[in-house]
Chain A
Amino acid sequence: MKPSSSRFPDNAAAALANPRLRAALDTLPGGLVAQRRAAVAAVPEFEALREAARAIRDATLDDLASHLEAFETKAISMGSKVHWASDASEACRIVLDICRAARARLVVKGKSMVSEEIGLNAHLEAEGLEVVESDLGEYIIQKRGETPSHIIAPAIHLTEADVAADFRAYHTHLPADRRLDTPQSLVAEARNVLRQKFLAADVGITGANFLVAETGSSIIVTNEGNGDLAQTLPRVHIVVATIDKVVPTLTEAMTLLRVLARSATGQDMTAYTTLATGPRRPGDLDGPEQSHIVLIDNGRSEMLASDMRDALRCIRCGACMNHCPVYNAIGGHAYGWVYPGPIGAVLTPSLLGIVETSHLPNASTFCGSCETVCPVKIPLVSLMRTWRERAKQQRLETWPARALSKLWISTATRPALYHLLARVAVAIGGALGRRKGRFSSLPFARGWLAHRELPAPQGRTFQQLWRETERGVPR
């Protein structure tokens, strides 16, 4: 997809002014926060689990090349074909070649963020393939021509009524007078439509939450079971996964699974966690005839060599966005690319470059909630700060921001001047605000004051009060 991260301020302003988006965002992220809190409270050792998860991810990344080779060897011995792609276009070409060799016409997909990142659907469709997303949220937004607004709840920005209207518009083969006024009726309709696609598909494409070197398996985690159908019914199964997804052993994968669902939805396990290892075996009555795994770099090896390595620990649970006040206010689309929220503010500049994405690290109050909940303890705040500094070094801030920070530096580093200005400002502010004791409008701060008031200063600065008293204690 074409990124629009450079227009973040406009995107965010539009999101804030959209009442339907507000209505949708009012419920779900907050609900996920409460569910996570309950799930974490139920496991007294959760902090130790987070620490273990962080350590597993760090140790794996330290020796990633060996684990990737071990995974490849084992996966091949279990009958999978392993492909390597340096970038998005190579990955798309590999998948297209597999589809062509299989004479495929219909491709059904499980949820995969990396396929969004590499623009896989558009690439396959341009070559004449029909591509159907099967995760319900992904299906809804695919039909709308939108991108996911959340990594685990892609249609979080839509209400029930939005979906009902869409289904009436797309499923024109169904009776026009059918009732679609409950979530149950909407789910049932999508199930029937998509079941036909599953049964007819030639190729199933899924992502992977983890790749297990010990067994050569991919692991997918879903609640709907759509990924399972996608990797069981079609003749050909293709896994697309970035190189950072590898985990050395099944036991370590289990520790990561213990923190993943709890952090994501507050479930201790999602309905389906599935290990897929190679194609159908002799004697098997179902399963794909071919199993392909496409290992994609697309910027990960550069991140590994950079000071953004910690971000590669991410297991894509979405907790950081659920807990982010900025995400909760503007939703995911404003971030302008595939990964929203705090992890998006770190990943997107890493993958697309800071020039086009310099606003994203500013999409944070630095409250630190994201770090406190991240199951693999990624220091999201300091990584965002690093990007802010880099944007500054490259002089990518807007001119008012640059002018203000220059002004600030030149006063804050001259104590005498600073005190003088502070005294003047506080005296004027105190005189003007004396009657009401607060300001509800000020030049240059109309937006900020639209929803709050600023208490008026009392007329003297702290420094003055300090001097007039004996070190703060009245004489």
Chain B
Amino acid sequence: MSRDAILTRVRAAGAMTPKRATPPLAAPPSLTTSGDAAIARFRTMAAAKGITIIDAPARDAVPQAIASILSSTEIETRQIRLNDPAMTKFDWRASSLSIELGAAEPQDVMALSTARAAVAETGTLLLASGAENPATLALLPETHAIVIDAMNIVGTFEDALTILRTHYGESLPRAVNLISGASRTGDIGGRIVHGAHGPHRLIVIIVANEIRAPQPAP
């Protein structure tokens, strides 16, 4: 069987050298922030990647925040696909928006997900797939909006992994998407074009007023 043959060859090759250790790793100090500095860095880094950032004082203000950004851009839709009960429970119609529940469908123009964490280091959003946040929301529509609670904006990828481990323990969800900007390509003549396969546009709504949960133990 190939499995055993491969492992035998690999083990024999490994036995020829002493095992070297991996030095302990920590995020480089120049990439490390926390608290308000992390939120500030996240804003800067995400904006540098072309991500539109808007603020909402609380989660129930997200529909209004989205309605106002829609009226100030060329995005022509009043309909949003989402499935997170934490967001569907609000009054979207009061903001003249309608919502569709479920995973994304090919004709959807805009979708909304909730991020598990955001990473200040690079301005990256961490999304975990599941019934509440199907992965297709982040992939199919032309505009993708992501809600992130300010308290879940962390400094480094190591911090984000801590959040992931706290939520999921040993078993990760099917997809963990680290998203750092809209879909793009440089494959034609080396010029960057957005909207290659995924969203053309990424909007992040930072929700200020969520009480800071106790930080997971390091």
User: Residues of A with Cβ closer than 8 Å to B?
Assistant: 24, 27-28, 31, 43-45, 48-49, 52, 55-56, 58-59, 61-65, 68-69, 78, 84-86, 90, 134-137, 140, 153-156, 158-160, 163, 183-184, 186-188, 190-191, 194-195, 198-199, 215, 217, 223-226, 228-229, 231-233, 243, 248, 250-252, 254-255, 257-258, 265, 267-281, 283-287, 295, 297, 301-302, 304-305, 309
Contacts and interface: CB of A to CB of B under 8 A. Distances in A.
B175 A272 contact: no
A285 B106 contact: no
B174 A284 contact: yes
B136 A225 contact: no
5 contacts: A61-B14, A137-B185, A153-B186, A272-B183, A277-B174
B9 interface: yes
Contacts of B23: 52, 55
**Which bracket fits the contact residues of B?**
35 or more
Interface stretch (B52-60, B68-76, B90-98, B195-203): B195-203
B86 interface: no
Nearest to A86: B2
B122 A269 contact: yes
A195 B12 CA distance: 46
For the residues of B in contact with A, the DSSP-based class is: loop
Interface of B: 1-3, 5-7, 9-14, 16-23, 25, 28-31, 45, 49, 83, 102-104, 106, 121-122, 124, 129-131, 134-136, 138-140, 157-158, 161, 164, 170-191, 193, 195-199
B200 to A, nearest CB: 9
Given A62-B14, A232-B135, A278-B174, A251 B161 contact: yes
Given A55-B22, A85-B2, A287-B174, A270 B187 contact: no
B188 A136 contact: yes
Nearest to A275: B176
A65 B12 CA distance: 9
Contact of B180 (A199, A273, A275): A273
Contacts of B187: 135-137, 140, 153-155, 224
A159 B198 CA distance: 24
B213 to A, nearest CB: 22
A286 B161 contact: no
A198 B196 CA distance: 13
Q: Would you list the 6 A-B pairs with minimal beta carbon distance, nearest first? A: A225-B198, A45-B28, A305-B13, A137-B187, A301-B9, A224-B196
B173 A225 contact: no
Contacts of B134: 284-286
B179 A271 contact: yes
Given A84-B2, A186-B188, A285-B83, A251 B16 contact: no
A184 to B, nearest CB: 5
B9 A297 contact: yes
A62 B18 CA distance: 7
Contacts of A59: 19-22
Contact of B188 (A45, A86, A160): A160
B136 to A, nearest CB: 5
Given A85-B2, A183-B189, A284-B129, A252 B176 contact: no
B44 to A, nearest CB: 12
B28 A49 contact: yes
Nearest to A306: B13
A183 B21 contact: no
Given A62-B20, A65-B11, A279 B174 contact: yes
Contacts of B172: 78, 215, 217, 275, 277
A187 B9 contact: no
Nearest to B101: A285
A154 B186 CA distance: 10
B198 A228 contact: yes
B124 A269 contact: yes
A275 to B, nearest CB: 4
A301 B197 contact: no
A301 B5 CA distance: 10
A413 B22 CA distance: 46
Q: Among the interface residues B10, B20, B157, which one has the most CB atoms of the partner chain A within 10 A?
A: B10
Contacts of A49: 28
A43 B10 contact: no
A283 B3 CA distance: 33
B8 to A, nearest CB: 8
Nearest to B196: A224
B146 to A, nearest CB: 13
A88 B200 CA distance: 38
Contacts of B131: 283-285
Contacts of B22: 55-56, 59, 248, 252
A184 B2 contact: no
